[in-house]
């Protein structure tokens, strides 16, 4: 089995190369992302392995099918970058539904603690031997209300972490888990009552810009908005306006709507032309990490293992338990 592996990073290669060899899978690693300009690199391969910022739109899918590619292996949980209607009846799409929900949930709380206790600012100060406490005042999480949008595996783990801090949890999910000890409310109530709002839902047509100008207007003044899920859940322009108006007290973003142009790469010597991203990063109450919530040793091992198992299952049986169907 020959698999073209796109958007390769050193940690990807270390996780996949040896495991692939042991299972008869020959990975060809490309640093470039999959898109309409690079899809020709997949010619002659049995499958492609892609990540969140690769593009598998209709044009790419049609080209892959023409080249004889039989499977798209997503080494992530999300699949919004794949045109599933275009793949239907042509190419199998598989994913890693849960590689380490603990990694993402823990990173979410790390962002919150860093933001509300000004740890990032204190770190920079003490590096210059500045031990002043001015402007480092935070607030207790105890008895604060956190609104959690999305109660899948990651959302549930994050809720348990919040309960450990003595926080009150309100949750919204289109498909609430009636067996879980979770207080579900409608979105408007969650927006109105939450001191912190954390996003843990997939990106769909319904959740696109679930945080926008209208929803921000319903929130408490000084609310902290956290997103470790998908960038387009938040209208970045509306978020920036909310911060400038002092309606939003802060934001913690591990994802960004237009991140595919920047995240996972070093732009420290370049001028970033995305004015909204540049403004957000410049804000003292905005904390941005570059889609690293998933990045733990355990998660990388699980991603590689599940991706290999998905590939082997498909080529042996023509089916896969982790197939992504077009109706999802």
Residue holding tokens 């355990």?
298
Q: How far apart are CA 75 and CA 9, in angstroms?
A: 13
- Is position 125 annotated as part of the catalytic site? no
Of the residues 95, 107, 200, 259, only one is catalytic, namely 259
Of the residues 106, 230, 265, 309, only one is catalytic, namely 230
234, β-bridge pairs: 211
Of the residues 117, 291, 309, 313, only one is catalytic, namely 291
Q: Phi-psi bin for 32: left (phi > 0), alpha (psi -120 to 50), beta?
A: beta
From residue 114, alpha-carbon distances to 22, 277, 321 in Å are 41, 20, 38
Q: How far apart are CA 214 and CA 252, in angstroms?
A: 20
End-to-end CA distance of the chain: 28
Q: How far apart are CA 69 and CA 77, in angstroms?
A: 21
Q: How far apart are CA 204 and CA 152, in angstroms?
A: 15
Q: How far apart are CA 243 and CA 251, in angstroms?
A: 8
- Is position 200 annotated as part of the catalytic site? no
Is residue 234 a contact partner of residue 225, using CB atoms and an 8 Å limit?
A: yes
- Is position 40 annotated as part of the catalytic site? no
Q: How far apart are CA 242 and CA 236, in angstroms?
A: 10
The count of C-alpha atoms lying within 13 angstroms of the C-alpha of 205, restricted to the half-sphere facing its C-beta, is 2
The count of C-alpha atoms lying within 13 angstroms of the C-alpha of 306, restricted to the half-sphere facing its C-beta, is 21
Two tokens at 72?
A: 């798209």
Size (the chain), residues: 328
Two tokens at 292?
A: 């690293």
Active site residues: 230, 259, 291
């Amino acid at each position: 089995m020959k698999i073209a592996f796109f958007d390769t990073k050193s940690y990807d290669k270390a996780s996949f190369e040896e495991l692939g060899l042991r299972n008869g899978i020959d990975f060809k690693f490309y640093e470039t992302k999959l898109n309409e300009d690079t899809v020709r690199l997949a010619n002659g391969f049995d499958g492609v392995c892609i990540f969140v910022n690769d593009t598998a739109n209709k044009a790419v899918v049609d080209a892959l099918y023409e080249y004889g590619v039989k499977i798209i292996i997503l080494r992530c949980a999300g699949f919004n970058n794949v045109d599933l209607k275009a793949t239907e009846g042509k190419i199998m799409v598989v994913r890693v539904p849960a590689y380490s929900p603990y990694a993402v949930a823990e990173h979410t709380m790390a962002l919150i603690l860093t933001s509300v206790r000004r740890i990032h600012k204190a770190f920079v100060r003490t590096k210059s031997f500045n031990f002043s406490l001015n402007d480092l005042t935070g607030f207790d999480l105890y008895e604060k209300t956190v609104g959690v949008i999305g109660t899948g595996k990651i959302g549930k783990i994050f809720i348990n972490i919040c309960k450990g801090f003595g926080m009150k949890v309100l949750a919204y999910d289109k498909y609430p888990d009636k067996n879980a000890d979770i207080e579900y409310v409608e979105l408007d109530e969650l927006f109105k009552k939450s001191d912190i709002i954390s996003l843990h839902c997939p990106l769909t047509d319904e959740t696109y810009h679930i945080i926008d100008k209208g929803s921000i207007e319903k929130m408490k003044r000084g609310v902290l908005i956290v997103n470790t899920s998908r960038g387009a859940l938040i209208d970045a322009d509306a978020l920036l306006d909310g911060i400038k108006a002092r309606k939003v007290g802060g934001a913690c973003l591990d994802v960004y709507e237009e991140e595919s142009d920047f995240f996972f790469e070093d732009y420290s010597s370049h001028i970033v032309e995305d004015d909204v991203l540049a403004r957000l990063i410049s804000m003292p109450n905005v904390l941005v990490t570059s889609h690293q919530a998933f990045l733990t040793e355990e998660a990388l091992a699980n991603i590689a293992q599940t991706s290999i198992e998905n590939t082997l299952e498909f080529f042996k049986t023509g089916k896969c338990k982790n197939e992504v169907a077009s109706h999802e």
